[in-house]
Amino acid sequence: MIELEDVWKVFGKDENAILAQARSAEPDPAALERLGAVIGVGGASLTVKRGELVCLMGLSGSGKSTLVRLVNRLLEPSAGRVRIGGKDILALGRKALRDLRSHRIGMVFQSHALLSHLSVRDNVALPLEIRGVARTTREDTADEMLVRVGLDGLGDRRVSALSGGMQQRVGLARALAANPDILLMDEPFSALDPLIRYDLQTQFRALSRELGKTTLFVTHDVDEAFRIADRVVLMRAGRIVQTGTPATLLAAPADDYVRRFVEHARPLAASRHEATTIRAIA
Amino acid sequence: MTDIQSRDVAIDRFIGSNSTYYRAAFHKIGAQRGYAPSFNMAAAIFGPVWLGGRRLWAAFWPFLIAELLAVVLIAFALSGGAGADRAARADRLEGLAAVRLQEATTANETDATSSLAKALTRSAAALGDAARQAREEAGAANAQTSLIVTLGLALFLAVRLTTGALGNQLAERRFRAWRLGGEKVEGGFSRLHAAGVALLLGILIPTIAFHFADRELFRAFPSNPAWNSASAVWLDGVVSAISGTVAPVANGMTNGINAVLTLTEAVLTQTPWPVVMIIIVAVAWQLAGFRVFLLTAVAISYLAILGYWEKSMQTVALLGTAALVSIAIGIPLGILCGYKRRVAGVVRPLLDFMQTMPAFVYLIPVIALFGIGKPSGVIATIIFGIPPVVRLTALGITSVPASVREAAIAFGASRRFILFKVDLRTAAPSIMAGVSQTILMCLSMVVIAALIGAKGLGEDVLHALQYAAQGQGLLAGLAILLCAIVLDRIVQGRGTTARD
């Protein structure tokens, strides 16, 4: 469903020079420093199958939020290929890209990014409004989504009157409103307190399985990743270090970085069927 | 190495010479809460030179200025103080009185009854009185002299004692900044800076001394009036050249503004007053609620009963047009400034200029271009009124959270959608504050507009000013204020009144 092929995103004044240096067989750190280069994502390749929930995991600054933004071209890749449903999205014109975003991709942000002057319902209906859906239809859809995320009856509230957890549910409802087949989740639950985070994780996993959405989920929390993910992608300094099921990561970490990352995961937090697999491997 | 040892080493490196003294002083300061009394003799003796050498500039400048003030006081008093001038005057008057007395005596001897002799005697007596008075004043001033000297000396002493008492504290504070700043803040005693300060004092203090020894010295800066007038003449040429080339455009603008003004004024003043009043009051209720409705009703009654109705309608037509044009240009310009940092970099100094330059200065070229009358008034008002709405619109646009904008893009929003449905809506409170400011600023230009021939309430204020008619001035001023507030509150609508 989502295919990334040797995708690069570098920041700096002269992107081409930085790219040439960074992709060379032996990149010279001093030269990159001189160019003021920041490697956001370096040569990432990844395929997410239809209906699969993949977690992008890594420390802050490891490039996971950058990578997820390359999928819907919120950031323009410096090099590489991005395909959605087999179609090269880097070749899309402005209008076609907007259509892709409004029809097929929903996104949830860490900072909610809700419009404070709109009601909860209008916020949820925003993607439909962008698409030009008639008012009554989009309001009905929005109300339906609010029921799904457990906020029924709160459509007329002001966004600012809601708690952090509730605001994030609004964000989720908004992402689902356009009925996209892809969900991009950029650390959606990181800013919430542990209990609410746990609830939302449970709810989100159920919802995403039920709706069969293809999901790319960014997190820095191992427990969160292991609880909800079918596969986990571990990133460090812009590069993908290892891709695999939680069980694989636990049983056969690719290097010390991965081992250190996963060794503090609470075994119970791993989803139940994974836990049995772990035991079987061990 | 223990922490204390490492601190001592740091102090050594920071202070340079004589660090044993500073080690003890800094330890004492660090050990005590609040002010730890200590006295730095070197700081007290060398004053500004010490502060400069230790690079304590924040303390250096106020202390230097206080010390120079002390020196000026002492020099002023020692050179005779204010008494010197008075004594010289008394001398001159006494001389004149003596001459007049001599003349009177001569006249008396010739003809004791002549009016000339009487006049001369009177004049001599008057001059004598004046001389006596000047002498007394000189005496009083001389008595003050010793007071001023004492004051100057006390100030000087106080500055030096404070420098001594605070010296170690200041040095210790800088030491901490030096340690925190990764030792990028310079430490040690800078001979170069001390020498620089000494040189500065070597120039300033003799200058003060010379001035008071001979008061004509350094009294006024030797300015060059010729350069001033030459520059002014050159600017005259520039302005008239510009007005020559843009005259057709200016004429077009004048005609356009005149047409709009005539129309709005006709609508407001030719329509029967009950109709206009009822509509305004109804609009106020509809747009801004009951409180603004009440305010509007009271304001309109005031204007109507005291006979300001027609004039206030003229004013509203004139300045309302100016405000409308300001807003119509200002919001798009502000949006542009909010999106393009480079445009903002050019526009911001221009806005500063427009807001700070006194209206009378740009009135001159405006009149040269657009002639005397209402269009000039409108243009001058726009120049003054446009900055707030531009600034606050730009501020509103730049403070839309990047994440909100990103979310809209992620859901496929077009630029148009982002501008109208995201940015402008989120920035609305800030933009409305700008609109409000612009309306009020425009109305405040009413008197200046009247000065160049715009009729209306400003005219009344101007008349009141010319004839010192306080009552009239206050009444007309209040009328202007009411017009401004009512306009602003109606435009702000329900949003702000509900929150108030």
Identify the CATH number of the domain in which residue B445 sits. Answer: 1.10.3720.10
What confidence category does residue B389 fall into, taking pLDDT thresholds of 50, 70 and 90? very high
Mean pLDDT of A134-146: 92
B499 touching A (Cβ < 8 Å): no
Q: Which residue has the tokens 């270090």?
A: A241
- Which of the two residues, B141 and B191, has the higher pLDDT score? B191
* Residue B500: burial class (beta carbons within 10 Å; 0-12, 13-18, 19+): exposed
Report ipTM for this prediction.
0.88
Same domain as B209, residue B262:
no
Q: Which pLDDT score is estimated for B63? A: 94
What confidence category does residue A270 fall into, taking pLDDT thresholds of 50, 70 and 90? very low
Domain region containing B365 = 248-499
Could you tell me which chain B residue has the CA closest to the CA of A99? Answer: B412
Q: How far apart are CA B99 and CA A115, in angstroms?
A: 92
Q: How far apart are CA A262 and CA A282, in angstroms?
A: 15
Same domain as B289, residue B393:
yes
Mean pLDDT lowest for which of A30-39, A267-276, B128-137, B335-344? A267-276
Q: Which residue has the tokens 């009016």?
A: B115
Same domain as B152, residue B28:
yes
Work out whether the CA dihedral B248, B250, B256, B258 comes out positive or negative.
Answer: negative
Residue of A81, A137, A136, A72 lying closest to A99 (CA atoms): A72
Question: Considering only CB atoms, which chain A residues are within 8 Å of B414?
Answer: 98, 130
Q: Are A57 and A185 in contact (CB under 8 A)?
A: no
- Which of the two residues, B5 and A15, has the higher pLDDT score? A15
Q: How far apart are CA A229 and CA A243, in angstroms?
A: 12
Q: Which pLDDT score is estimated for A267? A: 58
Mean pLDDT of A200-226: 89
Mean pLDDT of B262-268: 88
B278 φ, ψ to 5°? -60, -40
Q: What is residue B190's DSSP assignment? A: -
Nearest to A127 among B411, B422, B426 (CB): B411
Question: Considering only CB atoms, which chain A residues are within 8 Å of B410?
Answer: 72, 74, 101, 105, 107, 184
Mean pLDDT of B89-107: 83
CA distance B152 to chain A (A): 59
Q: Which residues contact B24 (CB under 8 A, 6 or more apart)?
A: none
Could you tell me which chain A residue has the CA closest to the CA of B423? Answer: A115
Q: Tokens for B454, please give them.
A: 């715009």
Mean pLDDT of B318-332: 91
The three-state (H, E, C) secondary structure of A71-107, written as one string: HCCCCCCCEEEEEECCEEHHHCCHHHHHHHHHHHEEE
Q: Are A39 and A237 in contact (CB under 8 A)?
A: yes
Strands A79-84 and A87-88: antiparallel
Same domain as B304, residue B197:
no
Q: Which residue has the tokens 């109507």?
A: B304
Helix (H, G, I), strand (E, B) or coil at B342: helix
Domain extents in chain A: 2-281
Q: Is the pLDDT of residue B111 over 80?
A: no
- Whether residue B421 and residue A184 make contact (CB cut-off 8 A), yes or no, is no
Q: Which pLDDT score is estimated for A193? A: 84
- Whether residue B428 and residue A103 make contact (CB cut-off 8 A), yes or no, is no
Q: Which pLDDT score is estimated for B319? A: 84
CA distance A92 to chain B (A): 13
Residue of B119, B453, B106 lying closest to B261 (CA atoms): B453
Nearest to A72 among B410, B421, B426 (CB): B410
Same domain as B301, residue B167:
no
What confidence category does residue B479 fall into, taking pLDDT thresholds of 50, 70 and 90? very high
Q: What is the pLDDT of residues A49-88, one digit of tens each?
A: 998 999 999 888 888 999 999 998 999 898 889 999 888 8
- Whether residue B412 and residue A117 make contact (CB cut-off 8 A), yes or no, is no
B239 touching A (Cβ < 8 Å): no
Mean pLDDT of B112-135: 82
Q: Are B420 and A130 in contact (CB under 8 A)?
A: no
What confidence category does residue B331 fall into, taking pLDDT thresholds of 50, 70 and 90? very high
Mean pLDDT lowest for which of A19-28, B60-69, B292-301, B411-420? A19-28
- Which of the two residues, B106 and B198, has the higher pLDDT score? B198
B418 touching A (Cβ < 8 Å): no
Q: List own/partner pairs for A226-229 with CB under 8 A and 24 or more apart.
A: A226/A265, A226/A269, A226/A270, A226/A271, A226/A274, A227/A201, A227/A269, A227/A270, A227/A271, A228/A53, A228/A55, A228/A201, A228/A204, A228/A271, A229/A53, A229/A54, A229/A55
Helix (H, G, I), strand (E, B) or coil at A240: strand
Same domain as B272, residue B154:
no
Q: How far apart are CA B379 and CA B90, in angstroms?
A: 58
Q: How far apart are CA A56 and CA A185, in angstroms?
A: 10
Q: Which pLDDT score is estimated for B495? A: 60
- Whether residue B414 and residue A98 make contact (CB cut-off 8 A), yes or no, is yes
In a domain, B448, yes or no: yes
Which residues sit opposite A216 in a β-bridge? A54, A184
Q: How far apart are the first and last CA of chain A?
A: 33
- Whether residue B411 and residue A101 make contact (CB cut-off 8 A), yes or no, is yes
Q: Tokens for B195, please give them.
A: 């020498």
B421 touching A (Cβ < 8 Å): yes
What confidence category does residue A272 fall into, taking pLDDT thresholds of 50, 70 and 90? very low
What confidence category does residue A277 fall into, taking pLDDT thresholds of 50, 70 and 90? low
In a domain, B66, yes or no: yes
B422 touching A (Cβ < 8 Å): yes
Over the range A8-47, which residues count as b (16 or more CB within 10 Å of their CB) and which as e? bbbebeebebbbebbeeeebeeeebeebebebbbbbbebe
Highest mean pLDDT among A2-16, B107-121, B156-170: B156-170
Q: Is the pLDDT of residue B65 over 60?
A: yes
CA distance A217 to chain B (A): 15
Q: What is the pLDDT of residues A246-268, one digit of tens each?
A: 888 888 888 888 888 887 776 54
B347 φ, ψ to 5°? -75, -35
In a domain, B389, yes or no: yes
Q: How far apart are the first and last CA of chain B?
A: 63
Same domain as B128, residue B58:
yes
Strands A53-57 and A214-219: parallel
Nearest to B428 among A100, A117, A184 (CB): A117
Q: Which pLDDT score is estimated for B288? A: 87
What confidence category does residue A269 fall into, taking pLDDT thresholds of 50, 70 and 90? very low
Mean pLDDT of B48-76: 91
The three-state (H, E, C) secondary structure of B220-267, written as one string: CCCCCHHHHHHHHHHHHHHHHHHHHHCHHHHHHHHHHHHHHHHHHHHH
Question: Considering only CB atoms, which chain B residues are within 8 Å of A135?
Answer: none
Q: Which of B213, B228, B257 is the last residue of a domain?
A: B213
Q: How far is CA B498 from CA A175, B194, B292, B385, in A?
A: 33, 63, 11, 26
Residue of B3, B6, B31 lying closest to B172 (CA atoms): B31
The second-level CATH assignment, the architecture, of A2-281 is 3-Layer(aba) Sandwich (3.40)
Q: Please give the share of chain A, as a percent, with pLDDT higher than 70.
A: 94
Could you tell me which chain A residue has the CA closest to the CA of B407? Answer: A113
The total of other beta-carbon atoms located within 10 Å of residue B426's CB is 21
Q: How far apart are CA A216 and CA A221, in angstroms?
A: 15
* Mean pLDDT score of chain A: 86
| Total structural domains within chain B | 2
Q: Is the pLDDT of residue A273 over 60?
A: no
E strands, A52-202, in order: 53-57, 79-84, 87-88, 105-108, 182-186
What confidence category does residue B343 fall into, taking pLDDT thresholds of 50, 70 and 90? very high
Q: Which residue has the tokens 């449903």?
A: A85
Q: Is the pLDDT of residue B43 over 70?
A: yes
CA distance A99 to chain B (A): 6
Mean pLDDT of B425-442: 91
Q: Are B182 and B10 in contact (CB under 8 A)?
A: no
- Whether residue B410 and residue A105 make contact (CB cut-off 8 A), yes or no, is yes
Q: Is the pLDDT of residue A208 over 70?
A: yes
Nearest to A74 among B409, B414, B421 (CB): B409
Which of B403, B409, B411, B423 has the highest number of chain A CBs within 10 A, making it the mutation to test binding with A?
B411
In a domain, B199, yes or no: yes
Q: What is the pLDDT of residues A86-115, one digit of tens each?
A: 888 888 888 999 999 988 999 999 888 899
B403 touching A (Cβ < 8 Å): yes
Q: How far apart are CA A159 and CA B407, in angstroms?
A: 15
Highest mean pLDDT among B62-76, B201-215, B239-253, B440-454: B62-76
Same domain as B373, residue B297:
yes
- Whether residue B413 and residue A178 make contact (CB cut-off 8 A), yes or no, is no
How many CB pairs (< 8 A) connect A and B? 60
Q: Which pLDDT score is estimated for B499? A: 40
Q: Which residues contact B75 (CB under 8 A, 6 or more apart)?
A: B208, B209, B211, B212
Q: Which pLDDT score is estimated for A218? A: 93
* Mean pLDDT score of chain B: 87
Same domain as B253, residue B121:
no
Same domain as B480, residue B342:
yes
Q: Which pLDDT score is estimated for B278? A: 92
Taking phi over 0 as left and psi of -120 to 50 as alpha, with beta for the rest, A36 belongs to: left
Same domain as B411, residue B270:
yes
Mean pLDDT of B278-306: 92
Q: What is the pLDDT of residues B294-306, one digit of tens each?
A: 999 999 999 999 9
Q: Which pLDDT score is estimated for A22? A: 81
Q: Is the pLDDT of residue B147 over 80?
A: yes
Mean pLDDT lowest for which of A265-279, B74-88, B340-354? A265-279
Q: What is the pLDDT of residues B208-254, one digit of tens each?
A: 888 888 777 788 888 888 999 999 999 888 888 888 888 888 888 88
Same domain as B438, residue B294:
yes
Q: Is the pLDDT of residue B498 over 50?
A: no
Mean pLDDT of A118-142: 92
In a domain, B487, yes or no: yes
Q: Is the pLDDT of residue B401 over 50?
A: yes
Mean pLDDT of A128-135: 91
Question: Considering only CB atoms, which chain A residues are within 8 Å of B421?
Answer: 129
